[in-house]
Amino acid sequence: MARSDLILSIVRASAAGDRKALRASVEAIVAEERSKNHHILADRLQRAMNSVSVAPPAVSSHSAGQSGKDSILETVPRQRIDDLILSLPVGEQIKQLVEEQHRADLLRSYGMQPRHRVLLSGPPGNGKTSVAEAIAEALAVQFFTVRYDALVGSFLGETNTRLAKLFDYARTVPCVLFFDEFDSIGKERGDIHETGEIKRVVSFLLMQIDQLPSYVVTVAATNHAELLDRAVWRRFQLRLSMPQPSAEALAVYLDRQLAQWPEPAGLTADLLAKKLGPVSFAEALEFCQTVRRRHILSSNNRELKAIVREQLDLWAARVIPKVADAARSREAAPPLK
């Protein structure tokens, strides 16, 4: 049974409406019960604490219109880690993180916490969002994507207030909290072109990330690692680079796509990968889907191989946009581990 002083502190915190003290006391009881292998009771206490946290506190009419949930898009994760084509270091480290989360009780019994902060960097279309979703699927937890349109406010201090509510909501349940295009909010504070408000937001954001419990897995993704504040890198235990796929990886991906087609494509996945050239997984998928669309719209009266040849001709003639700031992309980013 939990100690009487902890029970007393819970009663006092509840009477005073002190949610922070209430959570701390309940967490202490949960830890004590787990140390005694009373896992059923500990789980029930944890669920009860989360349900209390979900209930919105009394707020004024001025702040009632914006809750932490308003800044989050909740989706059901469907992507699986085994379905992704990842480099060996990335795949292994993601699987290690999932194992640590699954066996968190064992780690905590030794005074350690599972890793729960991941930073993914690399050009767009190469699986950063898919990795975040796959982590949520492997852990069987909710997948929260941060909505910047509902997060960033136009008034002084408004963004920090919304950030606080967002993190309070994320703490109520085990989840994966995903920040896409993290460089848009985690910018370098030394940039002379940024306002003081942005710098305050970055400082507050980093503090909130530090305080998240280990059952909230934070995944941040960026296409521009060089724009991130230097302090951001230290906050993340896993910093993984996801570059454009190699020709071999692209061929494996295309082979999976061609296997789903009702007819032969008229060329191998290796040859198709060579013809497409250096592209992202997203671009390769779009090419395959375009071929299938044309085949479906032809009412299957045209052979797939003919449509593939036609689309490859169009692919070769496409306009490739120039990178707006090539010099910036060549700047050295902090080393990835």
Q: Across the strands, what pairs with 143? A: 75, 176
Distance CA 35, CA 111 (A): 11
Burial class for 259, CB neighbours closer than 10 Å (0-12, 13-18, 19+): exposed
* Residue 223 contacts residue 181 (beta carbons within 8 Å): yes
Helix (H) or strand (E) holding 73: strand 72-75
- Report the SS3 class of residue 121: strand
Report the CATH number that the domain containing residue 113 is assigned in CATH: 3.40.50.300
Q: What is the model's pTM?
A: 0.72
Distance CA 172, CA 46 (A): 10
Residues 228 and 266 in one domain: no
* Residue 30 contacts residue 45 (beta carbons within 8 Å): yes
- The answer to whether residue 26 sits within a structural domain is yes
- The answer to whether residue 145 sits within a structural domain is yes
Tokens 């890198």: give the residue. Answer: 233
Domain boundary among the residues 202, 225, 241 is at: 241
Distance CA 115, CA 212 (A): 12
Residues 47 and 151 in one domain: no
Structure tokens given for 235: 């906050």
| Alpha helices (H) in 73-120, listed in sequence order | 88-102, 104-109
Residues 227 and 307 in one domain: no
Tokens 């780690």: give the residue. Answer: 107
Helix (H) or strand (E) holding 325: none
* Residue 36 contacts residue 105 (beta carbons within 8 Å): no
Query: Does residue 36 or residue 143 have the better pLDDT?
Result: 143
Residues 76 and 159 in one domain: yes
Domain boundary among the residues 220, 241, 262 is at: 241
- Phi, psi at residue 187, to the nearest 5°? -70, 160
Q: What is the pLDDT of residues 214-251, one digit of tens each?
A: 999 999 999 988 888 888 888 899 999 999 999 999 99
Q: Output DSSP code: residue 300.
A: T
User: Helices 158-170 and 196-211 meet at what angle, rounded to 10?
Assistant: 10
pLDDT of 333 > 60? The answer is no
Number of domains forming the structure of the chain: 3
pLDDT of 22 > 90? The answer is no
The mean pLDDT value for 307-317 works out to 93
- The answer to whether residue 16 sits within a structural domain is yes
- 182: containing domain: 68-241
Burial class for 110, CB neighbours closer than 10 Å (0-12, 13-18, 19+): exposed
Q: What is the pLDDT of residues 259-292, one digit of tens each?
A: 999 999 999 999 999 999 999 999 999 999 999 9
Residues 14 and 76 in one domain: no
Residues 146 and 36 in one domain: no
Give the model's pLDDT for residue 326: 43
Confidence of residue 40 (pLDDT cuts 50, 70, 90): confident
| Alpha helices (H) in 158-195, listed in sequence order | 158-170
Confidence of residue 62 (pLDDT cuts 50, 70, 90): very low
Residues 11 and 155 in one domain: no
The mean pLDDT value for 130-142 works out to 95
Chain CA centroid to CA 162, Å: 19
- The answer to whether residue 294 sits within a structural domain is yes
